[in-house]
Amino acid sequence: MAAAAALPEELLECIFKSLNDDNHTLKHLSVVSKQFLAITNRVRFSVTISDETIPFLPRLFHRFPNLTSLNLTILSKTLEEVDDTLTLISTFPLDIKSFNVSNTNYNRSFHLSHTNHIRPFRIPAKGLIALSKTMKNLKCLAFYGMSHFKLEDLFFIADYFPLLEELNLSDPLFTCSQDFMMDDNDQLLALPNLRRINLFGNHINDQFINFLRRNCKLLQEIMIIC
């Protein structure tokens, strides 16, 4: 360990970066020494935010100043609470490239018989608007296990995050044939850089797929249930 400590800090940082943001390994390295702790804090690029983490967000973001990826896990929060959390996150000077929101309590068979437990019902629009003002470089946005997605959600996201390259709106609790139904009055989809979209679990028809292809010239992958 003395030999490792004798290495230039720049070299140690390169070595730690080569771990590809393996948070488990970085956590173990951080307890070796104060020097290792400082380096691992700088090369930590992603964190998961849970109910227990939210009260400590200022401390968390101060400790890891170079974060580019956030994963927010939702347990039993209401839509308003999720909006508040996203609004709080938007107040920090983070250059986030990837943001994921997942409903970890999502269970289709359970919720079908306990619909009063569904949270949140839709995507957190107010929180996303707040995030859009600071996350100017967001490339990847994902929502897993929300209760419902509709066409207007897609247009809403495009309005506030037009530079997205990857979008995931997968595994909703409810879906029906009208969710992504197109009509003659539908606007253009302003996602010129979109390369991948995951709509697995949604009711998608050929008309909507053709709409995506026409509007998103760089689109390479569409994930749906066939």
DSSP state of 56: G
Report the predicted TM-score, pTM, of the whole model to 2 decimal places: 0.81
Contact 46/97 with Cβ under 8 angstroms? no
The stretch 5-22 carries a mean pLDDT of: 57
28-73 pLDDT, tens per residue? 555 454 656 566 666 678 899 998 899 999 999 998 888 999 999 9
What CATH number does the domain located at 45-223 have?
3.80.10
Q: What percent of the chain has pLDDT over 90?
A: 50
Report which residue type is found at 70.
L
Residue 200 contacts residue 224 (beta carbons within 8 Å)? yes
Which pair of tokens denotes residue 134?
């600071």
pLDDT grade for 110, boundaries at 50, 70 and 90: very low
More confident position, 77 or 155: 155
The residues near 135 (Cβ < 8 Å, ≥ 6 apart) are: 90, 94, 96, 99, 161
pLDDT confidence bin for 128, thresholds 50/70/90 = very high
Distance CA 192, CA 152 (A): 18
Are 60 and 101 spatial neighbours (Cβ–Cβ below 8 Å)?
Answer: no
- pLDDT, tens digit (0-9, with 9 covering 90-100), for 147-202: 889 999 999 999 999 999 999 999 998 888 888 988 766 678 899 999 999 999 99
- The CB-side HSE value for 32 (13 A sphere, CA atoms) comes to 16
Bigger pLDDT: 105 or 174? 174
- The secondary element (H helix, E strand) that includes residue 48 is strand 46-49
